[in-house]
Homo-oligomer: A and B are copies of this chain.
Amino acid sequence: MKKPVTAFAIFLAACNSPIDIEKEKARILQLDRDFAVLSVQSGAAEAFRQYSLEDLVLLPPNAEPVHGRDNVSQGFVEFDKQFILDWEPQAAEVAASGDLAYSWGTSTGTDRATGQPAFRGKYLTVWKKGADGNWKMLADMGNQSPAIAAQ
């Protein structure tokens, strides 16, 4: 008996509990929406500070890559004075192991001074599940979409 039981124990240890992918996908989409709510309420600098891994890389439009959560958060301070950044995820996928995921969506920038739309954009976010079981951002990129003609 001893040998198969040992092998069984090794497999048990190697095999994590099965991941409910649809549930994780819904979790990522909700997390991304909550992240946007925080951005609107408290600014992108605070939202990125709370939702990013320490070694996040941000790939902003018309700028160089920004490495590290603190630098990314700091980089939004001036932006936040001018704009409110909001977004809505469109789709997400999660790895079978439930430790890596991505979402993409559409974003809007609103001019704080006038309350008028300032730009439309898109984003692609890579999420990683930390040792604490929480998803945080590992990489994030944005760009602008064409302006919508005034009605």
Residues of A within 8 A of B (CB): 1, 4-5, 7-8, 11-12, 14-15, 18, 57, 59-65, 90-91, 93-97, 99-102, 104, 106, 122-124, 126, 128, 138-139, 141-146
Complex Cα–Cα for A65 and B57 (A):
22
Complex Cα–Cα for A57 and B139 (A):
17
Q: Does the CB pair B61–A144 fall under 8 Å?
A: yes
Q: Which residues of B contact A15 (CB under 8 A)?
A: 11, 14-15
Q: Does the CB pair B142–A143 fall under 8 Å?
A: yes
Q: Which residues of B contact A14 (CB under 8 A)?
A: 15, 18
Partner of A99, one of B1, B95, B122, B123: B95
